Amino acid sequence: MSDPRAPEAGALLLRHRFPARASELRSVREAVRREALGQGCAPECAADIVIAVDEACQNIIRHAYAGRSDGEIVLEIECAGEALVVSLRDFAPPIDPSRVRPRDLDDVRPGGLGTHLIRQVMDGADFAPAPPGGGNLFRMTKRIR
């Protein structure tokens, strides 16, 4: 029997467009946490999604926009059956996804572990084909039911 409170698969739950600045990430984390908990995620599951979104946004700010303060990010969270799909779209120059990979965990130094962490806490994470109009689209999935 299905949960009558569960949204229809493919339903857009959250869309948030924000400046690509680290100072914006606190409100982004709060919005993601609130939506994940509202969809029935356990607190640990919601925390995983928040960590992944924060890391991905930091990578967009640092690497895709190279610290430029005029960029924007669009965050969308959708229901996909028993999972949430989180999409992050930027409008920076397209990147080569094959060059985005975690560094070796034996290489102990600050930074560079965001992609490793994302892949550890999410069930799926990958770049989608470049969206119309350019930029980059990164999608992550997390099973919540």
pLDDT at 7: 62
Please list the ranges in the chain whose pLDDT falls under 70: 1-9, 97-114
Predicted local distance difference test score (pLDDT) of residue 131: 86
pLDDT digits (tens, 9 = 90+) for 76-111: 999 999 999 999 999 999 987 666 555 554 554 445
Identify the structural domains of the chain with CATH numbers, from first to last. 12-143 (3.30.565.10)
Q: What is the pTM of this model?
A: 0.86
The two three-digit tokens of residue 88, written as one number: 């992050």
- Interaxial angle between packed helices 25-38 and 43-59, expressed in degrees from 0 to 180 and rounded to the nearest 10: 150
